[in-house]
Amino acid sequence: MGNLCRIITDNCVGCGICRRNCPTGAITAENRKASISDACVGCNICFKVCPKDAVEKIEATAGNIQCDCCPVRCQVPAGGYGACRRYRNDGGELARIEPLNVVDPKEIRADPLTGLPDRPLMLGFGAGTNLYSTNVPAKVVAGAKVGDLDVVSCITEAVLSFNGARVKVDTDVNIGSNGQPIRRHGVIVGYVNTSEYGSHMLYFGGAELNTGPGGFMVARTVSDLLNKKAVAVSTDMVKKLTLQHGKPPIIDGECAKYMRIGCGSMVSSAFALHWMKVVDECIAIDYDVTAKMSTHTTSGLRYGLPDSGITPAGVYSSPGRWFGEPGAGWGGSNIMNPEDVFADVDKTKVWPGMRVVVTEPTLERVAYYEADADRNLAEKPIPPKVREVIDLIHGNCEPCRCNVSVCAGFGGGVRNVISKVSPILVNKALKAGKVMLTICGRPVHIWEGGGITAECSVEECPEGAFSWVPTPAGVTPLEVTMTRETYEGIGGYMEAIRPVEEIRKTERAKTVSLKR
């Protein structure tokens, strides 16, 4: 019998770290003292994270059964769930909660270009996890005929330390510069990467964070993101950033609405023929490229516009273009008020009545100015004709959303459940186009180079497809599909192949659709 955990009340200071990390919800707090209920499975997370040595191990209760699906070996109580929330103790038998997912055979077609089916026979979701060991086949090895092809799909829910979530966040708001840490409950769970065209790229997880001191919170965060749950994190720039696949980001309580049409250069010069009918100058503020229409190469110089005499704030790049500085202002720059973009105004070039519009790449904020008789720029109400151009350009802006991708590195252990001869044979067959790797049935991008590093969107993945175990590590549904001939050639576990129809009849299974 294994161990459970119990709070040493005299040592507990009520910091809440154990409660926030507990995967089963077994820990509650009252009067600043934690307590552990019968839902404890002995995953030992609380024992490992407690800074005050206020957790001790005790003998598991009779009636609990030990789960051997990962090295944690949870002691699952009757009717209860393991730490990964994927297995339940049903009357003394450990059962995978999700049934086997059999892909509708009517949807599967042989691809004449690849010589492979266009879908796996089954999904890793619901298959169960291979224990960390060697010389055992994938959890399920399914076989079937697809047209004239004799096909094999090796499926498992792979336990991975080399996994993470990449999140594309559509917004111009500065949510953090390159390399800034991202925190959840004070734990570093990821990092801000680059700023892209109207988006920010964030990465959560990865081997260093997964296996680091905050690994339990990291694994939970990656799993939540991949399962399309709302996750609240913080950066050095943002106190609360809420991310959820398919939803717009919420930044310190403000929901991002529109993604930019392009950089400032796009706004001022690509639409110059529209602006020229209603204003004499357009300055588009941007943390990337702030642009000035009248001297821009592709607008002002092309059409012979007179120079407005305005020098925008920023570092000069080329005619009509200045590099901005990231901040919390217009266009994600450090310009908080539109008139602050006028770094210098040469009044010898300004003329009375000159019309200037100042905006940002989303055109959500716009200011309009006219030069008075003394050639000073004064803000005025936006004229209807100018508003028409603003609305025209703004209509090209798409709604903001977050997009999450799973990133996974499949190492020797995963390849060993496919080939009992040599992991490199799996790599060679994959790179030769003889093997199709999918994540929960979805096509993946395989990064070139050594090893197998794959990435795919979670857009069409079902709820609960991803999980984590308290080693800590992520759990990713994986399918590796090939012809029977290829499987035999790479040293597959031929004796483990079971016809899909037999699996359907003898196991708890459901038919799923992968229509794309």
Tell me the pLDDT tens digit for each residue of 333-376.
999 999 999 999 999 999 999 999 999 999 999 999 999 999 99
Mean pLDDT of 269-274: 96
Question: In the chain, what's the furthest Cα-to-Cα distance?
Answer: 91
418 pLDDT exceeds 90? yes
Structure tokens belonging to residue 103: 């892909």
Mean pLDDT of 125-149: 88
Distance separating alpha carbons of residues 309 and 267, to the nearest angstrom = 19
C-beta of residue 67 within 8 angstroms of C-beta of residue 48:
no
The runs of H, that is alpha helices, within 1-158 are: 17-21, 45-49
C-beta of residue 415 within 8 angstroms of C-beta of residue 431:
no
The pLDDT tens digits for 236-254 are 999 999 999 999 999 999 9
130 pLDDT exceeds 90? no
Q: What local confidence, expressed as pLDDT, does residue 70 receive?
A: 83
Q: Torsion angle, CA of 257/262/267/272, rounded to 10 degrees?
A: -140
3-state helix, strand, coil in the chain (%, to 5): 20, 35, 45
* Residue 10 neighbours by CB under 8 Å, 6+ apart: none
| Backbone φ, ψ for residue 91 (5° rounding) | 60, 35
Mean pLDDT of 380-394: 98
| Backbone φ, ψ for residue 266 (5° rounding) | -65, -45
CATH number of 3-96: 3.30.70.20
Mean pLDDT of 41-52: 92
159 pLDDT exceeds 70? yes
Mean pLDDT of 494-504: 96
Percent of the chain with pLDDT over 90: 85
Q: What local confidence, expressed as pLDDT, does residue 390 receive?
A: 97
1 pLDDT exceeds 60? no
Structure tokens belonging to residue 306: 């007179």
* 429 vs 411, residue with greater confidence: 429
Query: pLDDT class for 71, splitting at 50, 70, 90?
Result: confident
Mean pLDDT, all residues of the chain: 94
SS3 81: strand
The boundaries of every CATH 3.30.70.20 domain in the chain are 3-96
Query: pLDDT class for 133, splitting at 50, 70, 90?
Result: low
The boundaries of every CATH 2.40.30 domain in the chain are 163-258
Domain 163-258 falls under CATH 2.40.128: no
Q: Hey, what amino acid is at 250?
A: I
Distance separating alpha carbons of residues 134 and 414, to the nearest angstrom = 9
91 pLDDT exceeds 90? no
The pLDDT tens digits for 461-498 are 998 999 999 999 999 999 999 999 999 999 999 999 99
Q: What local confidence, expressed as pLDDT, does residue 59 receive?
A: 87
Mean pLDDT of 261-273: 94
Mean pLDDT of 44-64: 89
Bridge-based pairing state of the strands 33-36 and 27-30: antiparallel
Query: pLDDT class for 60, splitting at 50, 70, 90?
Result: confident
Look at residues 292, 370, 360 and name the one whose alpha carbon lies nearest to residue 332: 360
Mean pLDDT of 123-132: 86
Tell me the sheet residues that pair with 29: 34
Q: What local confidence, expressed as pLDDT, does residue 3 receive?
A: 82
| Residue appearing with tokens 């994190």 | 233
Mean pLDDT of 85-104: 92
